[in-house]
A = this chain, B = another copy of it.
């Protein structure tokens, strides 16, 4: 992946956010506020997944689709369908 740095930075932010949620729970924060913070982490992870997928489409996918190996191409296309399916279920 390109943009390693940006992806790592976003993962670290989400990780720090989750540590903040732990502190909230320790401090007996209101349940709904805890849920909202968890949802905020999830929204940021959604954005990150989108970002990584976009990169994937513009690199690995192009290589596979233009390549000579039909089974490799099928695999790459199937993975995208699977990731799309999984996203619907989260």
Q: How far is the CA of A30 from the CA of B56 in the complex (A)?
A: 9
Known A25-B8, A26-B4, A46-B90: A56·B32 in contact at CB below 8 Å? yes
Could you say how many copies of this chain the assembly holds? 4
How many residues of chain A have a CB within 8 Å of chain B? 57
Measured in the bound complex, the distance between the Cα atoms of B52 and A53 in whole Å is 19
For chain A, what secondary structure do more than half of its interface residues adopt (helix, strand, loop), or is it mixed? Answer: helix
- Known contacts A1-B28, A25-B11, A65-B62; A35/B88 CB under 8 A: no
Residues on B with C-beta less than 8 A from A83 are 32, 35-36, 39, 84
**Which of A22, A31, A41 has the largest number of chain B CB atoms within 10 A?**
A31
